Amino acid sequence: MYALVRIFLIKIVFVYSQSDHFPDCASGPLSKFPICDQTIPSRERAADLISRMTIDEKISQMITTASAIPRLGLPQYEWWSEALHGLAFSPGVSFNGSISAATSFPMPINFGASFNMRLVHRMANIISTEARAFNNEGQAGLTFFTPTVNIFRDPRWGRGQETPGEDPFLVAEYAYALVQGLQGGEDARYLKIAADCKAYNAYDLENWNGTDRFHFNAIISDQDLVETYLPPFEKCIRDARVASIMCSYNSINGIPNCANQFELEILARESFHLDGFVVSDCGAISTIMYAHNYTSTVEETVAVALHAGTDLNCGYFYYNYTKQALEKQTIVEADIDRALERTFNILIRLGWFDPPEQQYYRQLTKDNVDTHEARQLSLESAQEGIVLLKNMNQSLPLDRNRLLNKRIALIGPTANATELMQGSYFGKAPFLIDPVTAIKALTTGKSIDVQFVYGCKINGSDESGFSAAIELARTADVVIFFGGLDQTIESETIDRVSIAMPDIQLALLQQLERVVQSPIRVVIMSGSGLDLTYVRDSPRFGSLIWMGYAGQSGGLAIANVIFGEYNPAGRLPITIYPASYVDAVSMFDMQMRPSKNNPGRTYKFYTGEAVYEFGTGLSYTTFHYSWSNDTAQRSYSISSLIENKNDAHRVLIRSFRVNVTNIGTMPGDDVILAFVKVSNTVIDGPILPIKQLFGFDRIHLGINETKEVFFPLNVEHLLIVEQDGTKWLYPGTYNVLIGQQLVYAIELYGPFIQWQSKRQFSSS
């Protein structure tokens, strides 16, 4: 949804120049109709309103830029607002009004690295509060096309940064926490805002080797669909009860997603119980015909999309061609009504037609935006997403008292990063703190000389800045290099070709390492993995940090980590592959398991050696794990488990408990990851995951402090997905690994059983 943005921005000025952006249910024409009667169920209110519209009026409501219907007193409404990590530039959002900025949080990939879903929930609360304040001022809609809950399948994907990482369980937990925080809140009667889980489904390619997202046909086995691509959407729809989902540009197995009745009606609605609407990605209805050649006439295209369950069109296809489709009888009027009932039902649930006086959310104002709490949380989030990958000889943290009268050199293209740290889908931040400014601020008043030299750009071949950088490095006591990527290399429409470190940055590093007086500290900003083998292996690099794109206070966050004001605890939410990975597997290959032309994808299936594994991350302190080797049950009969099988997700086997103690010399957080690994089983079928995440937690521990953490293990975590998408429970040994250590082994015995059939894809 990229190309359309510019066109729409011009429109916004007119949309919101009128103060009347809410329907007048007090005295306008609408006030006489059931739509304004709160005692009537929302579906009936919607149906009645729609029944009063003419065909042309109905058609005008089927697109994201819906027109006003003055005759009925219905104002215009822009359905397309964005808020990936804070309110973002989009057709529905304007920063040109009484509120001029919104809190800019780190990118979703950073939240994945934080492994802290309470933090995600708190952020979502603040975003939805700010969204309501913007809406009350006429500067935003109430329907937001966020979050992105595809898994980060391939490191080349330009939009992987919009996701919290490569693991379906992590992405699902993120989707749940985020959507709950956006939609729920202080007033249970109303949706706070409407979220949208996108892009459904298996959207994870922009443009690679001549095929773009509009034309890409993802070939996916039922096994991968059930095991990997569906779970985050299922969690978002079934458990978080999201108000909408977005069908994506690509096809799956020959069917464009916005024309896929099985996915939209059977899976999303019937199986996962979607109670909301489906919106097309922007232009994705027209691509059914023009890119995928799935249909040959516009009338047929309207029909397949509408019949598949695509209710709302981002773009103009429905607007242009629905009348023709009615005339050619490829659709009937009831198809339109069904779509509009679903969309208007959400506007009603948002309180759009209800009296403002009785609604908490309608009282929010610009005073609720960019609050002290919001600033604090953005900084905390940036800190929690920072991942320390290497720290030889305690190169970090730097002790400022030992740097008096010394010189710190800050070198590299991201040292003064500002907007770069906002990643993609960003808005106008109240301020942007770059690392140079923050490091200078944290050393003021001490006689420490902090100098910055750019050295080189993110990419390219311009070495003209090298000599100044080398000169500065030679004279500095400490050198910190800031490198990484930016949106010119990874973004919407742009997949990477290489996942190596950009040549120019590596060349500069190799010259710097020859002249420095102490090992270089390296900081990488990027939304995806890049091959950092050289920095990892050379003794001339003392430390290595990955910090994603950390938002408005990213510079302060990294400065706090560098000086030990904050003890890092983030963990990689992705596998960092060697550069050769891109030659080993085609980006078109959707298969997760290894094959002749595919070394396997993600920590669950990758058979090669990662540069840094999923879950890697160090601390300045040391944690010790202990567990009681109690007499609790270790052996379970499969037939006893099936007796509780009402809901596969929550058949608890047992909860694992571990005590974590901070035995080091600094307070800090610890992220504890819990994996399960199958061994010693009779299965003669699919390749099994190497291991699988089933729980995680993040806790804070003072020095010598101990806390107990719990990880419930459900049957669902042990199910084996066969090629045909069926799920089975097998006897065997299941090892539970917590923080890399084997904590428990449990046994399942008895005959294996089929837990879930193919068509269900999910028990309910």
Ligand X SMILES: *[C@@H]1O[C@H](CO)[C@@H](O)[C@H](O)[C@H]1NC(C)=O
Strand spans (E) along 563-679: 623-626, 635-637, 652-662, 668-679
By beta-carbon proximity to ligand X, the closer residue of 12 and 350 is 12
Strand-pair partners of 508: none
Positions that interact with ligand X (CB under 6 A) = 13, 96, 209-210, 215, 286, 293, 315-317, 320, 392-393, 416, 418, 454, 459-461, 489, 496-498, 502, 519, 539, 542, 586, 626-629, 657-659, 703-704, 708, 743
| C-alpha radius of gyration, the chain, whole number | 27
Residue 324 vs 760, nearer CB to ligand X:
324
For helices 554-562 and 372-384, give the axis angle rounded to 10 degrees: 50
CB atoms within 10 A of CB 723: 12
The nearer residue to ligand X, 652 or 703, going by C-beta atoms, is 703
Task: Output the CA torsion sign for 544, 547, 549, 555.
Answer: negative
Pick between residue 629 and residue 635 the one whose CB is nearest to ligand X: 629
Which one, 13 or 26, has the nearer CB to ligand X? 13
Q: Is residue 24 flagged as an active site residue?
A: no
Q: How far is the CB of 480 from ligand X (least distance, A)?
A: 14
DSSP bridge pairs for 674: 695, 738
Catalytic annotation, pick one of 196, 224, 281, 370 = 281
Its sign, for the CA torsion 534, 539, 540, 544, is positive
Residue 394 buriedness (CB in 10 A; 0-12 / 13-18 / 19+): exposed
Distances (CA, A) of 137 to 146, 350, 427, 634: 21, 16, 16, 59
Q: What 3-state DSSP class applies to 232?
A: helix
For residue 407, the minimal CB distance to ligand X (Å) is: 19
Instruction: Please state the closest distance from residue 742 (CB atom) to ligand X, in A.
Output: 6
Across the beta sheet with 251-252, what order do the strands follow? 217-218, 251-252, 255-256
Tell me which residue of 305, 309, 313, 151 sits closest to 236, measured CA to CA: 151
| Cβ distance to ligand X smaller for residue 58 or 362 | 58
Shortest CB 442 distance to ligand X, Å: 19
Question: Is there a contact between 246 and 234 (Cβ–Cβ < 8 Å)?
Answer: no
Q: How many CA atoms lie within 13 A of 54 on its CB side?
A: 7
- Least Å distance, CB 156 to ligand X, is 10
Q: How far is the CB of 70 from ligand X (least distance, A)?
A: 22
Instruction: Label residue 62 left, alpha or beta by phi (over 0 means left) and psi (-120 to 50 means alpha).
Output: alpha
User: C-beta of 673: minimal distance to ligand X in Å?
Assistant: 17
Give the end-to-end CA distance of the chain in Å, rounded to a whole number.
34
- Residues 6+ away with beta carbon under 8 Å from 230: 201, 267, 761, 762
In the complex, minimum distance from the CB of residue 209 to ligand X, in angstroms, rounded to a whole number: 4
Nearer to ligand X, 447 or 629 (CB): 629
- Identify the burial level of 268 via C-beta atoms within 10 angstroms of its C-beta, where 0-12 means exposed, 13-18 middle and 19 or more buried: buried
Nearest CB to ligand X, comparing residues 394 and 754: 394
Give the length of the chain. Answer: 764
- CA–CA separation, 70 vs 187, rounded Å? 31
- Taking the CB of residue 741, how many other CB atoms lie within 10 A of it? 11
The secondary structure of the chain in percent helix, strand, coil, rounded to multiples of 5, reads 35, 20, 45
Least distance from C-beta 703 to ligand X, angstroms?
4
Closer residue to ligand X, CB minimum distance, 38 or 459: 459
CA distances from 125 to 109, 535, 630, 665 (A): 18, 39, 41, 35
Taking the complex as a whole, the smallest distance from the CB of residue 708 to ligand X amounts, in Å, to: 5
Q: Are 107 and 527 in contact (CB under 8 A)?
A: yes
* Strands (DSSP E) found in 201-306: 207-208, 211-212, 217-218, 244-247, 251-252, 255-256, 277-280
Which residue type sits at 587? M
Q: Which residues contact 595 (CB under 8 A, 6 or more apart)?
A: none
Cβ nearer to ligand X, comparing 119 with 582: 582
> Shortest distance, CB of residue 437 to ligand X, whole angstroms?
10
The residue among 372 and 596 lying less far from ligand X, judged by its C-beta, is 596
Catalytic residues: 281
